[in-house]
Amino acid sequence: MTVNEKKCKGITIVSLNGSLDAASAPGVLNSSSALTDTQSIVIDLSGVDFLDSSGLGCLVGIARKKREQGGDVRLACLNEKLRKVFDITRASRLFDIYDDAEYAAGTAAKK
């Protein structure tokens, strides 16, 4: 799993690439300070090719912590397989999900 960051409209977009699973989920939290600080972020999942329950739990945990601290998490660019996981588990109700990461950053910046 690789993690990259870029700024867009004052919001950090964190791009994940690889499998987000039991092996990689614990390391994801330590790979980017943007995932643990209080600022709102967008997580771009266009590079994620596999997501299991541990990976989903990691995303939910990040969102929960951000919201407790006054921030928010928006997800962007879910492929068909990931969207199916979010729909089946109803985790899609926990997130604002966008097709475009930069558009998601724009909506987060306005909040």
pLDDT at 108 over 70: yes
Tokens of 22: 């039991």
pTM exceeds 0.85, yes or no: yes
Give the mean pLDDT of 7-20: 95
CA distances from 90 to 24, 36, 86 (A): 22, 24, 6
Give the mean pLDDT of 11-16: 96
Give the mean pLDDT of 17-46: 91
Tokens of 51: 């997501």
Amino acid 37: pLDDT: 81
Share of the chain above pLDDT 90, in %: 80
Amino acid 35: pLDDT: 83
CA distances from 78 to 11, 38, 68, 69, 88 (A): 19, 24, 25, 25, 14
Tokens of 21: 């699973």
CATH architecture type of domain 2-104: 2-Layer Sandwich (3.30)
φ, ψ at 100 (rounded to 5°)? -130, 125
